[in-house]
Amino acid sequence: MPTFQGPRGMRDLLPAEAAAFDALRRVVQARADRYGYPRISTPIAEDKQVFLRTSGETSDAASKEMYDVSLHGTGDLALRPEGTAPVARAFLEHGLHKAAQPQRFFYWEPMFRGQRPQLLRYRQFWQWGLECYGAEGPAADIEIIEFTSGLFSEVGLTEVDLQLNTIGDGPCQPKVRAALGEYFTERRAELSPESQRRLETNVLRILDSKDPRDRAVADGAPKVRDLVCDADRAHFEAVVAGLERLGIRYRVVDGLVRGLDYYTRTVVEFVLTDPAFAQGGGIAVAAGGRYDGLVRTMGGPDLPGVGIAGGVDVLIEALRKQGGGAPRELGADVIVLSAEQNDDADRVQLALPLREAGFRVALDYGGRSLEKQLESAVKHGAKVAVIRGTPEARGGNVIVRDLVKKEQRVTRLAAVVTEVGRHVRKRTRPTLEGEESAG
RNA sequence: GCGGCGUUAGCCUAGUGGUAAGGCCCUGGAAUGUGGAUCCAGUUAGAGCAGUUCAAUUCUGCUACGCCGCCCCA
């Protein structure tokens, strides 16, 4: 047995999994780029207050799921549990609130929560996200929802349900809470003990309780949507109308609320519908909404904000469940092997022009029979073997063997790139300009 | 964080208070120059630490990790 195990709730991404992450990141990031959301990257940890201030100091999320990593002299640090607050902090710290608005950001980062791990609930997990500051109208809400909906279409996720609701603006929420508080207090005795506690902490949460005792009461509760201010309702109706106009399927869910204090107006959640993910009322693959009070809460001006974040681990698992795209071929397409022993540098040298040309080339490090080398090449998924050191492959010749067609020909060393190119594709090569050009 | 159930080799799966079995994978050979077949051989295991016992992988406890339920879900 291994001497060490990974930390609880944190997992390794072996090459196949890491490749799936990379592929998804390319798709999401390119999409964000097309929408004018450039990438931002913030530190892995923040002053705890960044999260406590924005999430609500009393919420369980903040108080008990914070991943504390404080050290002597570093202040009270916590690994970030989410992306919105850190981006807001960076936005303010670098004075971007004084730049031309709106300001938009995309991120793809690991997040951390000190929760007990369960299926697809890790202590370290990855999220992509969008943040948009300075846009007050419904257009930005509609845009981030459309972005996400379109993303899921783009990657082929179909078993997903878009839910949305409005919870009112900052000035309205106290009214909403008061009205609900009054309603639930009158029926206090009928509520579960847990929800009786919620009466003190977060009345909204009672609305999405799963407890049957609460459901009976909550289902008869006044709708948040009907309690909010006229302006909030108008905003929400505009968002809904926008989705209609764009042909995006959605469901208005009365009980959809958020656990964090900073949300205002629009709240949105994309929930997986596959029964395999039905546990606990469904796993969200993306969630977000509007947070018009956040920037001010953090000491900045009264700037509106809206954003959405999606779980990468969850999305990849959902796609896999759906029997999503074929796994990418990870290994090399070409393998260099040799009938000779102790010609190590020659193998490296033979691979050189092929790699330069853009082929994925691996070496057989030798020390075994040609048969074993070929067997190994096939097992590793190589398409072509370039063989040196055989009698017919001396004097500036090599054998280029197609391992799929089982055909081969003796080729001049100078023509090996051309010959290999007849059997496998070159890969694109990235450049510092950020564009990929054909290699 | 609370409760329940789990953990046998790289993977999957048996079984047992007394020598831990099989399949797949892997390595080598048959076949020192041409591969996914075949045959032969081989490597690798009871999560960790204590306790009970003549003897523990098996029973008990603690710890670690996982899954399920709760809390919560940014």
* ipTM of the complex as predicted: 0.87
A276 and A321 Cβ atoms separated by less than 8 Å: yes
- pLDDT reported for residue A95: 96
Q: For the residues A349-365, what does the mean pLDDT come to?
A: 94
A165 and A257 Cβ atoms separated by less than 8 Å: yes
A337 CA vs B29 C1’ separation (Å): 21
pLDDT band at A360 (very low <50, low <70, confident <90, very high): very high
User: What are the φ and ψ backbone dihedral angles of A294, each rounded to 5 degrees?
Assistant: -65, -50
Q: Which nucleotide is at minimal CA–C1' distance from A211?
A: B70
A415 CA vs B11 C1’ separation (Å): 43
Q: Where are the beta strands (DSSP E) in A253-350?
A: 264-272, 284-290, 305-311, 334-338
A408 CA vs B34 C1’ separation (Å): 10
- pLDDT reported for residue A285: 95
The DSSP H or E segment spanning A160 is strand A160-166
> Residue A143 pLDDT more than 80?
yes
A61 and A260 Cβ atoms separated by less than 8 Å: yes
Q: Which nucleotide is at minimal CA–C1' distance from A7?
A: B65
- pLDDT reported for residue A161: 93
Alpha carbon distances (Å) from A196 to A11, A60, A187, A200, A435? 37, 16, 10, 7, 57
What pLDDT, in 10s, does the model give residues A241-262? 999 999 999 999 988 887 677 8
From CA A23, how far away is CA A411, in angstroms rounded? Answer: 36
A399 CA vs B38 C1’ separation (Å): 28
Q: Which of A12-21, A50-59, A96-105, A214-223 has the lowest mean pLDDT?
A: A50-59
> Residue A153 pLDDT more than 90?
yes
What pLDDT, in 10s, does the model give residues A51-78? 888 876 555 555 668 888 877 666 788 8
> Residue A378 pLDDT more than 50?
yes
Q: What percentage of chain A reaches a pLDDT higher than 70? A: 93
- pLDDT reported for residue A296: 92
Kindly report the bases of strand B lying within 7 A of a protein C-beta atom: 1-3, 9-10, 25-29, 31-36, 45-48, 64-74
> Residue A111 pLDDT more than 70?
yes
Q: What percentage of chain A reaches a pLDDT higher than 90? A: 59
pLDDT band at A324 (very low <50, low <70, confident <90, very high): low
CB neighbours of A13 closer than 8 A, spacing ≥ 6?
Answer: A21
Q: For the residues A150-154, what does the mean pLDDT come to?
A: 96
Q: For the residues A331-353, what does the mean pLDDT come to?
A: 91
* Length reported for chain A: 439
A46 CA vs B60 C1’ separation (Å): 45
Q: For the residues A15-21, what does the mean pLDDT come to?
A: 88
- Site of tokens 């919105």: A84
Q: Which nucleotide is at minimal CA–C1' distance from A119?
A: B67
Q: What angle do CA A5, A7, A9 make, to 5 degrees?
A: 120
